[in-house]
Structures are given as C-alpha cells and as structure tokens.
Chain A
Amino acid sequence: MSFMDRFQSVMEKILVPVAVKLNSQRHVVAIRDAFILAFPITLGGSLIILLNFAVLDPQGFIAKMLFLHKLFPNLADYQSIFSPIINATVNILSMFIVFLIARNIAIALKADELLCGITALSTFFIVYPPFQTFDGVSYMTTQWTGAQGLFVAIIIGILVGEIFSQLSKSKRLQINMPASVPPAISRTFKVLFPIVIIMIVFAIGNAIMNALYPKGLHALIYNVLQTPLKQLGTNILSLIVLIIVSDLLWVFGIHGPNTTAAIREAMFAEANLENLKYVAEHGSAWGAPYPGTWSLVDAFSFYGGSGMTLGFIIAVFIASRRKDYRDIAKLSIAPGLFNINEPIVFGIPIVLNPILIVPFVIVPPINALIGYSAIKLGLIPPVAYSVVWTTPGPLIAFLGTGGNWLALFIGFLCLAVATLIYLPFVIAANKAADVNQNKERIADEPTQSTSV
C-alpha cells in the first residue's frame, strides 16, 4: 500500500465521518442554509451600493469612464434614490437569519416552519433592548438588527426552532378545531399554546437577564461571543488555516466549502456586513474596517475554483506535452473562467493526485497573503463589496474593491504566481503519467504475445 493510499484510508476513516456529521447536524445545516438563503439579499444590496457609487457618484469608475458626470451635472443627486436599500438588506440581516434558522430547524423536525420562523422573529424582539420614547414618539435602535445582532439571531433561531418543534408535537398542547374551520385558522390554533409558552419563557428570561446585566442580552452576547470570534475570523492566520482545510478536504473528495460553511459564516458574516455598511456610508472601500475576510479569498485565491485551478490550466498549456492533459485543459477553460473546476479536478485528475495536491493546497493561501499585503500596505482598499463567486477571476478583485485598477492588476499578478507555482508540478505530473503509461504498456506486452 503506497503512502497516498494509506493517507487516503486515514482520511476516509477520520474525515468523512466528521464531514458527514457536520453536513447533517441540523443546527449546523440550519445556520449554513440560512446564510445561503439570505445571500441574495446581501448580494443584491451590495450590487446596488456598488452601482450607486460606481455609476451615480461623479468620482465612480463607471461614471468617469462613460463621462456620466459631464452628461448629467446633478448625477450625485440620484444616489439618494437607492440609499434606503442598505436599510432593507444589510441593516436588517439578523431578522432574516433568526427567521430562517428557526424555519430550517422546523423543516428538519417536521413542524410548522412558517409559524416557527415568525415565532423566532417575535422572540428576537422580546429580548431586544426596550424602545426609547422622545417627545412622545417611540424609537427602536437599529444597532442589533444588522451585523451586530447576528449571534443573538443564531441563538434565538436555534432555541425557538427546537422548543417550538418539540412543543408543537405534544398532543396536550394542541387545540384541534372542527373540520368546518378554515385550514389557516386550525393551523394557527394548533400551535397557539407553544407560541404563548415560548413568549412567556423568553420574556421572563429577558427580565432576569436585564436585572443581572442591564445592557441586555444583545450587548452581552456581542461582547462575550461575537467580538472574540470576529477577531479570530478576521485574523489572517485563521483565514489561511481555513483555506488550507477547505482545499485539503476538496482534494480528498470531501466538499470543503460546504463542510466549513457554517464556521465560515459565523466567523466572517459580521465583518463582511460591517465592510459593506462602511462603503454605503462613505462611498468608498478605502478605510473599510476588515481587510481579512473570506471576500479576500474569492478576490485573489480561487480563480478557476478551489485551488486556483485557472493557474493550473495555463500551466498545462505552457508546459504539458501530453495530449490528454491539453485536451482536458481546453475543455476546462470555459467553466474555469466562471470558477467551476469539476472538469479539471476529475479529468486530470487533481483529486487524490499526490503531485498536484501540493500546489492545489499552497497556491490559494500564498495568493491570499499577496492580496492581504497589498491591502495592509495601502496599495488597494479592502474587498468590501460582495461579488458573486462565479464572476471571472480578477474581476472579483476589481469589483470587490469598488473598481480599483491596481486590484485588477494584483489579481492578474496572483494568477501569474499561481501559474508559476503549478508549472514544475505539471512537468512532474507529466513525467509520472508517462512512467505509469510505460509500466502499463510493459505489463500488457506478455499478454499480447501469449494471445498471438
């Protein structure tokens, strides 16, 4: 048994069960899927903010390119039309998340998902800081409805999802209406007691919490849990570790991004939203507070997909003499441009290939470091805008920084670095493939002569 076979066997015994557990554990799945479902809202918000500053700001890169500021002298006035979108997306993300997590858990436990989600949203506001009244008008702070309230949203979503689902299954707590009653009414009465119990329990819990810690649950969770985790997540070393783990899982046939999604969201969601909020308020990504988020990875490290396989494809065209490699590379260019790499990962294959695993795992962290260094040196702004991951490579860096041309150049530089790192491994993989082919030919020869 070769070293690779032994290593694979270990991965199979240890990592597959862990990955299966992480991908089937209902709370982890509920968190992961909640962020996936909320993604169009944050992405939509991000795109509109980007357009608002790229097109409608006289200093925006599209406005400058198309001379819009000269064609429309009052161009900036139109920005106010789209400004409310940040309040309807990023600034209320916690409300979407609390609803979606409770709903996902209710689906997993076969309870009424819609009413469970609504109950969780209602509970989120039971533990919310009390409204303040000024001049007879009540005001609610929006401090915890966005990024800063995410952890309370996650906790409330999980708790309400579980409690609601369990209580609603209890026959003694169900009010069953006659068959003549419309279905919508009998549906709501069936879970009325569980909803009331949840509200009472959380209201009492909230009162006790406020007595012990007057700043409230949101402030407590934010200081004790969310801030340390955010600091851990936005540390470049954590980012590098997460990239390596994700890529390593990938080459052993485990879905790295899926497996690490819940951890990644918990670590980076707030920082990403804070960056987006910053650009919405300042009109520029320069000075955005968090340079090291997962957006940095998409912007500089995953061109062509995990392992930055666009660099591998280019390296094959430069250095490979094998027709099969070049044919697969040709077929993989189109999907690779949109960061889909199944054809090359399984076609060459890179999966379980002891030679190509090395660059596949080391290229992304190196490029993340290049991008991070450029930001820290003040050459480019942080990647603050969300850009959909299927956007062609260096364009993510360009759009994510709000149209910074140097970021685009650094993106191409990262692609060149990836190609250079892949080159010697492509040559080595070619030689290994030739040797294997010769061995197979020699092994076949006696059989052929015998049959003749």
Chain B
Amino acid sequence: MNRHKVQVYSGQIKFLHEYFEDYRDDRVKVEVERLDKIGMVLAVETEMGGEETVQYLKSLFKKTKYGTALHYSFKLLE
C-alpha cells in the first residue's frame, strides 16, 4: 500500500474539503492532514502511483457539481 501526500489549492477550498474529508472508495482512502484558507494537504492511502493518484482525485472532484465551476489545482507532494 502506498501513502501519498497531495496538495490541493482553491479559492473555494471549503467545497473540496467537504468532499474529500474522510473520503473512501475501493481505490483510495483519504484524510485531510492540513487545511488553511486556500489550500489543504491530503494524505492518501492507495495501490496507485503518485501521479495516477493525483489524476484520480482530480477526476473524482471533476464529476461533482462543483467540478467545472470551481478553479483548483492538485499537486503531488510526496
């Protein structure tokens, strides 16, 4: 099992935080490690590699109703 840290930024971080807080599915287990005004760090447990995890998380949020409305970025930290 891999453990990645993903930095997420958005001016509307509240909506991303609400979505990813304790998010679980059969591919990822997500915990919000740190949260501030425009960013948060996610600790992700997964079988996937780092970049694949980032793309997966991004695609998850993109499918929500906020996905194309908000401006955000995901970046692999470690």
Residues of chain A having any CB pair with chain B under 8 Å = 12, 16, 19-20, 22-24, 29, 250-256, 258-259, 342, 346, 349, 351-352
Interface of A is mostly: helix
Contact indicator A346/B69 (Cβ below 8 Å):
no
Contact indicator A253/B68 (Cβ below 8 Å):
no
Cα distance A29–B62 in the bound complex, in angstroms: 14
Verify if B24 is at the interface (C-beta below 8 Å from A): no
Shortest distance between the CB of A342 and any CB in chain B (Å): 4
8 Å CB interface, B23-78 against A? 37-39, 65-73
Contact indicator A346/B12 (Cβ below 8 Å):
no
Verify if B13 is at the interface (C-beta below 8 Å from A): yes
25 pairs, A vs B, C-beta closer than 8 Å: A16-B12, A20-B66, A23-B68, A24-B65, A24-B69, A250-B71, A252-B12, A253-B12, A253-B13, A253-B72, A254-B69, A254-B71, A255-B69, A255-B70, A255-B71, A256-B71, A259-B69, A346-B39, A346-B73, A349-B9, A349-B38, A351-B9, A351-B10, A351-B38, A352-B11
Cα distance A352–B13 in the bound complex, in angstroms: 11
Residues of chain B having any CB pair with chain A under 8 Å = 9-15, 37-39, 65-73
Query: Please, which residues of chain B bring their CB within 8 A of the CB of A342?
Result: 9, 73
Contact indicator A19/B70 (Cβ below 8 Å):
yes
Cα distance A342–B70 in the bound complex, in angstroms: 13
Query: Please, which residues of chain B bring their CB within 8 A of the CB of A349?
Result: 9, 38
Query: Please, which residues of chain A bring their CB within 8 A of the CB of B10?
Result: 253, 351
Query: Please, which residues of chain A bring their CB within 8 A of the CB of B65?
Result: 20, 23-24
Contact indicator A258/B38 (Cβ below 8 Å):
no
Contact indicator B70/A253 (Cβ below 8 Å):
yes
Shortest distance between the CB of B69 and any CB in chain A (Å): 4
Shortest distance between the CB of A117 and any CB in chain B (Å): 22
Cα distance A352–B38 in the bound complex, in angstroms: 8
Query: Please, which residues of chain B bring their CB within 8 A of the CB of A253?
Result: 10-13, 38, 70-72
Cα distance A346–B9 in the bound complex, in angstroms: 6
Query: Please, which residues of chain B bring their CB within 8 A of the CB of A255?
Result: 68-71
Query: Please, which residues of chain A bring their CB within 8 A of the CB of B67?
Result: 23
Query: Please, which residues of chain B bring their CB within 8 A of the CB of A20?
Result: 65-66, 69
Query: Please, which residues of chain B bring their CB within 8 A of the CB of A251?
Result: 11
Query: Do A19 and B11 contact each other (CB < 8 Å), given the known contacts A346-B39, A351-B38?
Result: no
Chain B residue at smallest Cβ distance from A253: B11
Chain A residue at smallest Cβ distance from B12: A253
Cα distance A256–B10 in the bound complex, in angstroms: 13
Cα distance A22–B68 in the bound complex, in angstroms: 10
Cα distance A24–B11 in the bound complex, in angstroms: 20
Chain A residue at smallest Cβ distance from B74: A342
Chain B residue at smallest Cβ distance from A257: B71
Query: Please, which residues of chain A bring their CB within 8 A of the CB of B38?
Result: 253, 346, 349, 351-352
In-complex Cβ contact of A19 among B39, B69, B72 (8 A): B69
Contact indicator B39/A12 (Cβ below 8 Å):
no
Cα distance A255–B72 in the bound complex, in angstroms: 8
Apart from A23-B65, A349-B9, list 11 A-B contacts with CB within 8 A. Answer: A22-B69, A23-B67, A24-B68, A252-B11, A253-B10, A253-B72, A254-B69, A254-B70, A258-B68, A258-B69, A351-B38
Shortest distance between the CB of A64 and any CB in chain B (Å): 43
Cα distance A257–B69 in the bound complex, in angstroms: 10
Cα distance A24–B39 in the bound complex, in angstroms: 25
In-complex Cβ contact of A254 among B9, B12, B14 (8 A): B12
Chain A residue at smallest Cβ distance from B68: A23
Query: Please, which residues of chain B bring their CB within 8 A of the CB of A252?
Result: 11-12
Cα distance A258–B39 in the bound complex, in angstroms: 21
Shortest distance between the CB of A324 and any CB in chain B (Å): 15
Shortest distance between the CB of B11 and any CB in chain A (Å): 2
Query: Please, which residues of chain B bring their CB within 8 A of the CB of A19?
Result: 69-70
Query: Please, which residues of chain B bring their CB within 8 A of the CB of A256?
Result: 71
Query: Please, which residues of chain A bring their CB within 8 A of the CB of B9?
Result: 342, 346, 349, 351
Query: Do A352 and B37 contact each other (CB < 8 Å), given the known contacts A16-B12, A252-B11, A254-B12?
Result: yes
Query: Please, which residues of chain B bring their CB within 8 A of the CB of A258?
Result: 68-69
Between A20, A253, A259, the greatest number of chain B beta carbons within 10 A of the residue's beta carbon is seen for A253
Contact indicator B73/A16 (Cβ below 8 Å):
no
Cα distance A252–B71 in the bound complex, in angstroms: 9
